[in-house]
Amino acid sequence: MKQYTVAILGATGAVGTQMIQCLEEQNFPVGELRLLASARSAGKKVAFAGGEVTIQEARPEAFAGCDIVLGAVEDDLARELLPKAVEAGAIVVDNSHAFRLDPDVPLVVPEINGEDVAWHHGIISNPNCATIIGLVPTWPLHKIAGVTRMVVSTYQAASGAGAPGMADLEAEIAAMGKGEPLPAPRTFAAQLASNLIPQIGGFDPEGYTSEEMKLQNEGRKIMHLPELRVNCTCVRVPVLRSHSESITLEFERDITLDEARAALEAAPGVKLVDDRAAASAHDRFPMPIDTSDQDLIWVGRLRRDISNPHAARGITFWCCGDQIRKGAATNAVQIAKLLTE
Amino acid sequence: MKQYTVAILGATGAVGTQMIQCLEEQNFPVGELRLLASARSAGKKVAFAGGEVTIQEARPEAFAGCDIVLGAVEDDLARELLPKAVEAGAIVVDNSHAFRLDPDVPLVVPEINGEDVAWHHGIISNPNCATIIGLVPTWPLHKIAGVTRMVVSTYQAASGAGAPGMADLEAEIAAMGKGEPLPAPRTFAAQLASNLIPQIGGFDPEGYTSEEMKLQNEGRKIMHLPELRVNCTCVRVPVLRSHSESITLEFERDITLDEARAALEAAPGVKLVDDRAAASAHDRFPMPIDTSDQDLIWVGRLRRDISNPHAARGITFWCCGDQIRKGAATNAVQIAKLLTE
């Protein structure tokens, strides 16, 4: 079996660290692993596959001989460094926003459009976390009845802002728990503990944030639905690492709840948790504490959209998924695995 | 000026305690204040209007001579005791769900249907907290263009489950902040700190919770719109005492954003906080930390619903309001004040 030289660019961040673990969990055929980060982290050692890997400074030279580069850095660094990886002959799977809407770059959720990896030109983009988590359960319903419209409100975890975002929330909860004054947030625009921040990303002229528009723009590309209409409201909530979404869908054709339930039960990447009569809340519906540190999107609260004038074409549900895993690292490693198959 | 003998039934709970403060703040013409609670609290003294009031056990005899009784107890106790207050000659303003949909009982948000107090038969109901907070900003938009459909996702604070709910969240945050094991929740079905619980109330056969159906059922009655269609998803979030809602509206007629903004700026009970260019997050949009312990519903993130095929008839916004105040106590005292005018 072919072994691959794999590099992770941004190996010390929340997503990069998770990618290392996902490579092991998904039994990725790693011959050599290169962990690339800032000069500050260079020289540190990280455990991998029973051995140790020394972190190197992220410089273009480090891509020589790489088969696959997993990108887990911000847009600007991705734009600067990842084309060098392609020049060096590697295939890049990038988690940043930098290339996602480039028509030469496939944007892939393996459960939805894995076949799109075939037409890459060196770079494949990993979608936004809230996009992945919302689309994985939408796709099997779309296949039945053709989705035309989504109205989505998100409940997004601190981890969406990376390790520094999680540190902000943890520091605030620590202070709050001890009755001490809260430290000033370093990552978020305001206190997050016991609060909600209804802005993720900058505003466009219409008043939507960049994060909100990703679900429509990336969703259209991933599902090959250029006419899909999405109204998204993205809200940061004081949860550590699972995103949740309240999703209302409209379809072209009728869809029964039984059909929807059966499709979700059969769908790859989805776990239906929707037993209204269950004694334990953990079996009645998905919750972020239960969906953290695992790879599936949990779906529940499945019901008719009673506000839709055409009742048979409206579905509402709730879903939760780990933002760092399926929202980022797991999906990227899944894409890389498609490249090896 | 006439002075009124006012009783608060459930005077030691989160809402009852707030009602005492609201009577003072709204300069309610209180001649005598009677504070009624369980036998356990009887004899305790509470400060009011520069003096002290001794809590009495809540028994039917305590209603003798009362002009107005404010109810702040659960449904079963409300059903048992409040009709006795009416028999004793008092007018009741009740915060429970017990009488809200009774056709003989007005259900009132003073900013919307204050005139409905006129036809009471002894009891006037105070709507559900999430209903009040969502409808106060919806009403001025409805008056322009006629609302037909609402898709709402809520972010509801611990205080919606009363003082014990707040105590649950505070105990969990205290333990989490100290790195100790979390205490088992006493009020909620699961841990709330760093989590979300997407169920408030029991499920109906369609899969909606009782809390979710209140927005449609109470909204139809309050706004006199028997055909209004509402799809609501109610979620408990780890926030102490302000509810937030992400609301998408559809209208019968066109409405411009300028019209909507002007209507919200002029609307009683509403504060528009929607300066996208503001340097401080506190001026850019409403957040629960800013809307707690005050009486207005703050509205922001006002924009077109870009998913609506008829763009000129779709509006989306975000709002926050104090659950204990405008969601309960403030609104009840406002209703009582209408009775004195």
- Residue A175 sits in the same domain as residue A52: no
Please judge whether A281 and B150 are an interchain contact, meaning their C-beta atoms are less than 8 angstroms apart: no
Q: Judge: A316–B231 Cβ closer than 8 Å, yes or no.
A: yes
Query: Quick one: average pLDDT of A200-220?
Result: 98
Do A78 and A204 fall into the same domain? no
Cβ–Cβ of B151/A155 closer than 8 Å? no
Average pLDDT on A294-298 reads 98
* A303 in the same domain as A177: yes
pLDDT at B235: 98
Return d(Cα A56, Cα A45) in angstroms, integer.
10
Cross-strand bridge partners of residue A155: A244
Contact A246 B235 (CB under 8 A): yes
Q: Which helix (H) or strand (E) holds B323?
A: none
> Which three-class secondary structure state does DSSP give residue B264?
helix
Coil, strand, or helix at residue B288? helix
Query: Within this chain, do residues A178 and A307 fall inside the same structural domain, yes or no?
Result: yes
Residues B319 and B291 in one domain: yes
As a whole number of angstroms, the distance between CA A287 and CA A291 comes to 6
Answer yes or no: do B289 and A248 touch at CB < 8 A. no
Got the DSSP string for A61-108? GGGTT-SEEEE-S-HHHHHHHHHHHHHTT-EEEE-SSTTTT-TTS-B-
| Nearest to A243, CA basis, from A320, A310, A330 | A320
What's the rounded Cα separation, in Å, for the pair A82 and A96?
Answer: 11
CATH code for the domain of B153: 3.30.360.10
A324 closest CA partner among A267, A264, A265, A239: A239
Pair (A166, A52) in one structural domain: no
Whichever domain contains A63, its CATH number is 3.40.50.720
Q: Over the stretch B154-209, which tens digit does the pLDDT of each residue have?
A: 999 999 999 999 999 999 999 999 999 999 999 999 999 999 999 999 999 999 99
Return d(Cα B224, Cα B61) in angstroms, integer: 37
Number of domains in chain A: 2
Q: Which of B10, B6, B20 is nearest to B325 (CA)?
A: B20
**A144, A141, A102, A143: which is closest to A125 by C-alpha?**
A102
How far apart, in whole angstroms, are the C-alpha atoms of residue A70 and residue A18? 12
B316 touches chain A (CB under 8 A): yes
Cα–Cα distance, B84 to B101 (Å, whole number): 20
Burial class (CB in 10 A: 0-12, 13-18, 19+), B239: buried
Helix axes A129-145, A210-223, angle to 10 degrees: 40
Q: Confidence class of residue B221 from pLDDT cuts 50, 70 and 90?
A: very high
| 3-state SS record for B147-192 | EEEEEEEEEECHHHHHHHHHHHHHHHHHHHHHCCCCCCCCCCCCCC
Pairing of strands B56-57, B30-37: parallel
- Tokens coding A2: 């072919």
Q: Which residue, among B216, B220, B247, B69, has the nearest Cα to A151 in the 3D structure?
A: B247
The residues near B49 (Cβ < 8 Å, ≥ 6 apart) are B24, B30, B33
A191 interface with B at CB cutoff 8 Å: yes
Q: If you count residue pairs, one on A and one on B, with CB atoms under 8 Å apart, how many are there?
A: 193
Q: Provide, as residue numbers in chain A, all residues whose Cβ is less than 8 Å from the Cβ of B278.
A: none
Element (H, E) at A127: none
Average pLDDT over every residue of A240-261:
98
**Would you name the residues of A annotated as active-site residues?**
129, 243
For residue range A306-332, what is the model confidence (pLDDT) as tens digits? 999 999 999 999 999 999 999 999 999
State what percent of residues in chain B have pLDDT above 70: 100
Residues of chain A with Cβ-Cβ distance to B199 below 8 Å are 281, 284-285, 301
Nearest chain B residue to A304 by CA distance is B206
Q: Answer yes or no: do B274 and B147 share one domain.
A: yes
Q: Same domain, yes or no, for B65 and B135?
A: no
**A278 at interface of B, judged by CB pairs closer than 8 A:** no
Task: For residue A50, give its domain range.
Answer: 4-127+329-340
Residues A160 and A284 both lie in one domain: yes
Q: What phi and psi, each to the nearest 5 degrees, are found at residue A290?
A: -90, -25
d(CA A191, CA A211): 20
Q: Which residue of B has its CA nearest to A319?
A: B198
Instruction: Indicate yes or no: CB of A285 within 8 angstroms of CB of B193.
Output: no
CB atoms closer than 10 angstroms to residue B257: 14
pLDDT tens string A150-195: 999 999 999 999 999 999 999 999 999 999 999 999 999 999 999 9
A224 burial level (CB within 10 Å; 0-12, 13-18, 19+): exposed
* Domain identity same for B169 and B226: yes
CB spacing of B306 vs A206 below 8 angstroms: yes
pLDDT at res. B95: 97
Among the partner residues B177, B196, B302, nearest to A287 by beta-carbon distance:
B196
What is the structure's pLDDT at A1?
A: 81
Tokens linked to B188: 């909620």
**Beta pairing, strands A4-9 & A68-71:** parallel
Same domain, B140 and B211: yes
What residues of B are in contact with residue A203 (Cβ under 8 Å)?
A: 276
**pLDDT at residue number B1:** 81
Q: Tell which B residues from 147 to 166 touch A, by Cβ distance under 8 Å.
A: 149-151, 153, 155
What is the mean predicted confidence (pLDDT) over B19-46? 97
- Strand ranges inside chain B, DSSP E: 4-9, 30-37, 45-48, 51-54, 56-57, 68-71, 91-94, 123-125, 147-155, 229-233, 242-251, 270-272, 297-304, 314-322
Which three-class secondary structure state does DSSP give residue A313?
helix
* Global pTM value: 0.97
> Within this chain, do residues B123 and B163 fall inside the same structural domain, yes or no?
no
For tokens 């001649």, name the residue.
Answer: B31
Per-residue DSSP letter, B109: -
Residues on chain B touching A237 (C-beta within 8 angstroms) = 155, 196, 237-238
Q: Which pairing describes strands A314-322 and A242-251: parallel, antiparallel, or unpaired?
A: antiparallel
**For an interface test with A, which of B291, B307, B320 has the most A Cβ atoms less than 10 Å from its Cβ?**
B307
- CA gap B69, A208 in Å, rounded: 46
> If DSSP codes are grouped into helix, strand and coil, which group holds residue B250?
strand
Structure tokens at A217: 């723009």
Residues A116-150 have pLDDT tens digits of 999 999 999 999 999 999 999 999 999 999 999 99
C-alpha distance from B266 to closest chain A C-alpha (Å) = 21
Closest residue by Cα to residue A66 from A41, A32, A16:
A32
What mean pLDDT is reported for chain A? 97
CB A36 within 8 A of CB A9: yes
B101 touches A at CB < 8 Å = no
Distance from CA of A248 to the nearest CA of B (A): 8
Residue found by looking up tokens 């009887």 in the block: B42
Q: What does the alpha-carbon distance between residue B197 and residue A98 come to, in Å, rounded to a whole number?
A: 34
Taking contacts as CB-CB distances below 8 angstroms, the residues of chain B near A204 are none
